[in-house]
Amino acid sequence: MANAWKIARKNSAQLPLVIVIALAVVLVLLGKTNSGIFDQARMRITDWMAPALEAARSPVQGVGRWMGSVTEIFSVYEQNLRLKEENARLRQWRNVAIVLQNRVDHYQALLHAVPDPKMNAVLARVIGRASRPFLQTMVLDAGKDDNARPGQAVMDARGMIGRIYLTGERTSWVILLTDLNSRIPVSIASSVNRGSAVQAIMTGDNTAMPTLAMVPGTVTLHAGDQVTSSGDGGLLPAGLPIGTVVADGAGWRVALLADPAASQDVEILNFSAPPEEMPPTALLPAEAAGLKPHVPPPPPAPAAKPVAKPAPAEPVDAAGSVE
Amino acid sequence: MTTLDRSAAPTRLKYLVALVPLFCGLAGVVIANIPVSLLGGLVPPPLLALVPVYFWCLVRPDLMTPAATLVIGFFEDLLSGGPPGVWTLSFVLTYVLVARQRDSFAGLSGAAAVVGFAAAASVTCACAYFTIAALYWHLPLLAPILSELAMTVLFYVPAAMLVVAIHHRIVGPMRSDI
């Protein structure tokens, strides 16, 4: 270090600085091409820190509740009245939902529809949150030991929060829907034209309301349209509630139903659509597509066996008589 | 805490003391990146590790070397969860700028010192912003990085007071021995 100090004083520290800058650039490029090493290191650190995070969770949660309740204490009466009214309205909607669900089940039975894939869920606790300029994430206390896998959807009581993107043995990192890197295929059910739905991509940009991209130009969205997961790509189940459409200047954003900042317990949905198996080539409708019909390949020739040389044939004349 | 006796300190201890700035930077990384938020994620955590980097780059650049800055930036990347290398590159480039303009920055005091740190932190955040823009090939929103900058500058004064105290009590007495 003493040498470094002298070198710095002589203004000849260019080489170390250049090397260090080059190393930093290499790190950026390495992270871009292969971030697996960094992810593994992060998960090891998070797994190691998990007990400390869980211990720190309770007092922090208590402080957060106390800070939240200070402002709410002055509006308890109004809030109570509003909640009672909302509860009565929701009970009516619950009855409507039950009737409609029964009707859908009946129609599905009549049509022999493919049943929805069954899902099980793991309940996990949020033990950490990080809101960085380029990353919005939360840490859960469920990992590979609890069958949590990258890509699985994470829900709170109201709707989808995000997806798991890193799993350790006992902890998982969730990429929130609001994160810069989040892209989710969604289906937008129109509140005006009943029955019509639009497919789009919901893109996070680190604001509270993600944007809607890839919306067909011929479609008009309306504020209040319901946004659910579309299930395209088979990574997420279809129909997970996400939010409602709100206008934002010339574009559209999604007001999320879930509140990642307040969620304490979340569900990790274990959804895995069975991979669709390709039919055998012979069964493909090749002829219908105007292609050459498939001809099964000839059976493989039996392995060559050493055969005794046949005896030389007797010369045969044109008439077939043996001389 | 008692000050160390310059003549009596064993050589091994002197080298441990020389690592104090690096440890302070790493401690700043750990504290800032504990994924527990009191404010419900409303504001990002400050770049606490930048304070020791900036301070010792001005006061004792022999102790806060470019390599130490690289290590601190690497840990910031590792714990913050973002794309790898972004904060490393930002910290190193800030170090280069501060080292080059050392005489200008070192002469600042009082409110001007905060302005000086804010300028250095602006370079860090701008570098991170444009690196992310290059990686994702589109410009992210400015508001999150501006709030990160504001939080970092806001926490500069208490963090700098702690760093100055550590410097005076631990690092300073070893000045001529290392």
pLDDT per residue over B52-78, tens digit each? Answer: 999 999 888 888 889 999 999 998 888
Asked if pLDDT for residue B126 goes beyond 90, the answer is yes
- Cα–Cα dist B108/A239, whole Å: 59
Are B89 and A206 a contacting pair at CB < 8 A?
no
- Output the pLDDT for position A1: 40
**What DSSP designation does B171 have?**
I
A236 token code pair? 């997420």
The string of pLDDT tens digits covering residues A308-323 is: 444 444 444 433 443 3
The string of pLDDT tens digits covering residues B18-40 is: 888 999 999 998 888 877 666 66
* A interface test, pick of B92, B136, B142 with most A CB neighbours within 10 Å: B92
The residue among A150, A175, A140 whose CA lies nearest residue A270 is A150
Q: How confident is the model at residue B89 (pLDDT cuts 50, 70, 90)?
A: very high
Q: Out of A85-89, A181-185, A282-286, B26-30, which region has the weakest mean confidence (pLDDT)?
A: A282-286
Mean pLDDT along residues A71-77: 77
Asked if pLDDT for residue B83 goes beyond 70, the answer is yes
Q: How confident is the model at residue B121 (pLDDT cuts 50, 70, 90)?
A: very high
Asked if pLDDT for residue A10 goes beyond 50, the answer is no
B residues 70-89 closer than 8 Å to A (CB): 70, 73-74, 77-86, 88-89
Q: Is-contact A216 A165, C-beta < 8 A? A: no
Q: Which residues in chain B touch residue A138, judged by CB atoms under 8 angstroms apart?
A: 35
- Cα–Cα dist A135/A179, whole Å: 6
For chain B, percent of residues with pLDDT exceeding 90: 37
**Which is higher by pLDDT, B166 or A283?**
B166
ipTM value: 0.82
> Other C-beta atoms within 10 Å of A10: how many?
8
The domains of chain A are located at 116-270
Second-level CATH architecture of A116-270: Beta Barrel (2.40)
Of A8, A57, A134, the CB nearest to B82: A134
Q: Which residues in chain A touch residue B18, judged by CB atoms under 8 angstroms apart?
A: 1
How near does any CA of chain B get to the CA of A177, in Å? 14
> Other C-beta atoms within 10 Å of A181: how many?
17
Sign of the CA dihedral running B69, B72, B77, B80: negative
* A interface test, pick of B65, B131, B149 with most A CB neighbours within 10 Å: B65
Q: What is the DSSP string of B7-59?
A: TTS-HHHHHHHHTHHHHHHHHHHHHHT-S--TTTTSSPPP-TTHHHHHHHHHH
- Output the pLDDT for position A296: 59
- Output the pLDDT for position A3: 41
- Cα–Cα dist A128/A60, whole Å: 10
**Which is higher by pLDDT, A320 or A298?**
A298
Are B66 and A35 a contacting pair at CB < 8 A?
no
Of all residues in chain B, the one with the smallest CA distance to A56 is B36
Q: How confident is the model at residue A303 (pLDDT cuts 50, 70, 90)?
A: low
- Output the pLDDT for position A160: 92
- Output the pLDDT for position A104: 87
Residues 6+ positions from A279 with CB-CB distance below 8 Å: none
Write down the mean pLDDT value for chain A.
78
- Output the pLDDT for position A84: 92
